[in-house]
Amino acid sequence: MSISIVLPAKNEAIAIGDTIRGIRKYYPNAELIVVDDGSVDDTAVIAEAAGAQVIRQPYSKGNGAAIKAGLRAASNEVVVCMDADGQHRPEDIVPLQQKLEAGYDMVVGARNREGQAGLHRSMANGFYNKFASWMVGHKVEDLTSGFRAVKRKKFLEFISLLPNKFSYPTTITMSFFRAGYSVGYVPITVLRRAEGSKSHINLWKDGVRFLLIIFKVGTLFSPLKLFFPISLALGGGGVIYYAYTYLTDGRFTNMGALLFTTSILVFLMGLVSEQVTALMYKDKG
């Protein structure tokens, strides 16, 4: 099966050459696309010298924007997305491709705990995986992995939904589940980042962004499943508070009315969001 391999890269001059040569060792005829996300070093020059097709972004737009540019430029039906910093092993493309050929629409390389960048990232990703598994009703082994093989036409269906920053893996995974496409997982080994190569994720700024992703994932997949428990909790709180004030003061307070009203509003917001989401995923074919 002919494949295209997309590598988003920002200031990866140290690692990009070895990464491309490693891929060429296993896939000498693959279409190899490096999207230079506004690098200020020689990333683009080294990538071209190593034999990759380079797409230059005039300024840094984000990891997700680079992936979208690479997917648009790819000419093959199967596209593999992987990091350019040397953490993903080219030989792990083979099991991803094999599982894709078995009937899956997207196959994700699932990292183990040792493959996570620090304890805080491991704990956060573990929470995301559990939350996403509850939302979709299937086990999600790695929601945020950037190493995946996907059928290009199906990916392009959701390209307008994808953010430009680091949360694109989360969004595309949930979009595939929502559309009823098959998502599979293959365990992978993650190597240490090439010496001198730095992560572009900011702990605090991106930590807040990832927190917002939790709510985005919920509203993207099934809003009512997220809004209904909140509505139920507010309504239950209203009942408990009303019972307390009735027994102690013999009256119905404004706080009880506020809790009941908020509960109804939250439920209605979830209901409307559910209809909007259904229209957003409507089959255009």
The whole-number mean pLDDT for each consecutive block of 10 residues of the chain, a chain of 285 residues, reads 91 93 92 95 94 94 94 96 92 94 95 62 77 83 92 92 83 87 93 61 60 72 86 93 87 88 94 83 58
Q: Structure pTM?
A: 0.79
Predicted local confidence at residue 49, as pLDDT: 94
Residue 83: count other Cβ atoms within 10 Å of its Cβ.
Answer: 20
pLDDT at 285: 45
Cβ atoms of residues 83 and 28 within 8 Å: no
Tell me how far apart the 2 most distant CA atoms of the chain are, in Å.
Answer: 81
* H/E segment holding residue 265: helix 254-280
Structure token pair of residue 246: 């009735």
